[in-house]
Amino acid sequence: MKSITMKWMLAMVVLLTLLIGSMILVNSIFLEDYYIFKTKATFVKEYEELLEEYRGISDRKFLDILRRRNSDNGYKYLVVNEKYDIVLSSAPEFKEGNRLHLSKFQKEFMKKNEKELTDGKVFYQALKRDDSKQYDITLVAQLRKDHFLLIAQPLQQVSENVAIANDFILMIGIGILIIGVIIANYMSRRIVRPILEITEITSKIANLDFSERYHGTLKDEVGILGKSINRISEKLHSTISDLKHTNTDLQKELQLQKRFLASVSHEFKTPVGLIRGYTESLHLGMAKDKEEAQEFTSIILQETDHLNRLISDIIFLMHIDSGIFQMNMKGFDLAISIQGVVNKFSQMPSEKSFELSVETPSKLQVCGDEGRLIQVLENLISNGIRHVSPGGILQLTANQKNNLVKVEIYNSGKQIPKEHLPHLFNAFYSAQDSRSRNNSGTGLGLSIVNSIIQKHRGECGVFNRADGVVFWFTLPTSNDKC
């Protein structure tokens, strides 16, 4: 670690020495030209604005403009004629009509460049004053055919111009700082930081924290090590996540099994209790006459049938949820199956009168297990018959949209409370006014419907209407796989 630090320090010393030497060299050679260059754009813009304002106005108004600008920016403005006499000056002591003579160094400069000035060339440079070490930054350009504009700003020697020098040094200093930070960061990332980063990552992995990754771009041994650590972290994280997920699923499965067993026990208790009670009554000869004995026997048979249906439904649910249940998938016309189920129910006697109607296309080609889908239709229609209002309507509609067939079973009657709707397809769901169970049902009909439809890659649900309830399910249409 000490060797790496020494190398880093040596690199920084060499770099800073080179940068400081470069700064001194640049400061000594180029600062004057830099300042002149920096102010050139301002002077040229000033000249262009004055040239535009000068057109069409009197000398008096133009003098006012020059003095106002002098007050704002401190520049000295002179308008001279072809004889190099001062016609207008922003100096407060100047009076219109006076003819002042131009300074010798300015006059010599204009005479030297008279032809270029007449041709419209703009001159901008530092002019040394007469018998002085001081300079004026001066812009000289033609204002009109026989008049020229001079814009001047006094400039002390560059070495004494602290403000400009500080500005320049600040810029160089910022450059040095930026470069130094970049180099320091690079050296740290290149040599020290990747190792420290890998060390931190491995410490977190040891504590089963796999959130961090090595993001270095090095292709040397350190980079290879970092990528290997990433692969180890990802593999461990994936394995542990899978184990946690599996454990969570097992816990949920155990809870479901516990609730299922509790529900099954509850469902068995009532019919078993009735069978035992009426059997004991018959055994003890408590029936008053033959008719009452037959009534007891009839109740025992009904409850036995109920237990048989309940056991069959439980076995079917366990079979379909086991993952080994196989559907006999094929393409068939669901419209024919719907009509067959409706015809079956229309011929069955019912304790209450209602209107049974069907609205389906002439053909509904779907992909599925026809026998199981008939079971779905029978369960939903039976559920609807049990809850249709006396003299009401039980309506089955089916239609196709895109690659889905949707079937709806509507029955007029009471709505289902909203809080029960999401749970109706749960096995043995028990709630007041629940549609999933009643005295003649097992409480598993809608759960069986849900399992069968899911095996067909479809969906099912229920919603209320103003005058009743609608159960629905969807199926994919027939395709090449059927």
In this prediction, residues 118-141 reach a mean pLDDT of 84
Does residue 191 belong to any structural domain of this protein?
no
Domain end position, chosen among 325, 349, 382: 325
In a domain, 434, yes or no: yes
- Confidence check: pLDDT of 182 > 60: yes
pLDDT band at 156 (very low <50, low <70, confident <90, very high): low
Residue 179 in any domain: the answer is no
| pLDDT, position 373 | 92
Average of per-residue pLDDT across 27-53? 82
Determine the average pLDDT of the residues in 62-73. Answer: 90
Given a cut of 50, is residue 432 above it in pLDDT?
Answer: no
Q: Using 50, 70 and 90 to split pLDDT, how confident is the model at 260?
A: low
pLDDT score for 150:
93
Shared domain for 309 and 413, answered yes or no, is: no
Indicate whether 92 belongs to any domain. yes
Average of per-residue pLDDT across 229-235: 85
Q: What is the CATH number of the domain that holds 148?
A: 3.30.450.20
Question: What's the total number of domains in the chain?
Answer: 3
Domain boundary among 165, 182, 217: 165
173 part of a folded domain: no
Q: Is the pLDDT of residue 408 over 70?
A: yes
> Are 20 and 74 found together in one domain?
yes
pLDDT at 83: 87
Q: Do residues 36 and 137 lie in contact, with contact meaning Cβ atoms separated by under 8 Å? A: yes
CATH number at residue 388: 3.30.565.10
The average pLDDT across 27-36 equals 73
pLDDT the model gives residue 158: 46
Give the residue with greater pLDDT, 106 vs 213: 106
> Regarding predicted confidence, which is higher, 322 or 337?
337
Q: What percent of the chain has pLDDT over 90?
A: 20
Residue 322 has pLDDT above 80, yes or no: no
**43 and 96 both lie in a single domain:** yes
Percent residues over pLDDT 70 in the chain: 83
Residue 270 has pLDDT above 60, yes or no: yes
| 56 domain-assigned | yes
Is there a single domain that holds both residue 313 and residue 364?
no
252 assigned to some structural domain: yes
34, pLDDT greater than 80: no
Does 302 lie in the same domain as 221? yes
Query: Taking all residues of the chain, what is their mean pLDDT, rounded to a whole number?
Result: 81
Please tell me whether residues 291 and 366 are part of one structural domain. no
Q: Can you give the residue range of the structural domain that contains 259?
A: 209-325
Q: Among 175-179, 312-316, 319-323, 355-359, which range has the highest average pLDDT? A: 355-359
Q: Is residue 176 part of a domain?
A: no
Of residues 220 and 395, more confidence is placed in 395
pLDDT of 1: 47
Q: What is the pLDDT of residue 431?
A: 42
CATH at 279: 1.10.287.130
pLDDT value, residue 463: 95
- Same-domain pairing of 107 and 216: no
Higher pLDDT, 401 or 440: 401
- Domain end position, chosen among 130, 165, 200: 165
Confidence category of residue 128, pLDDT binned at 50, 70, 90: confident
pLDDT band at 3 (very low <50, low <70, confident <90, very high): low
Q: Does pLDDT of 121 surpass 80?
A: yes
Do 159 and 308 lie in one domain? The reply is no
409 and 430 belong to one structural domain:
yes
Region 129-157: mean pLDDT is 82
Binning pLDDT at 50, 70 and 90, where does residue 437 land? very low
Average pLDDT over residues 157-169: 60
Indicate the pLDDT class of residue 361, thresholds 50, 70 and 90: very high
Residue 180 scores a pLDDT above 60: yes
Per-residue pLDDT, averaged over 147-162, amounts to 73
Say if residue 132 is in the same domain as residue 158: yes
pLDDT value at 441 more than 70: no
Q: Is the pLDDT of residue 80 over 70?
A: yes
User: Is 302 in the same domain as 408?
Assistant: no
- More confident position, 312 or 471: 471
> What is the pLDDT, as a whole number, of residue 188?
67
Query: 158 and 84: one domain?
Result: yes
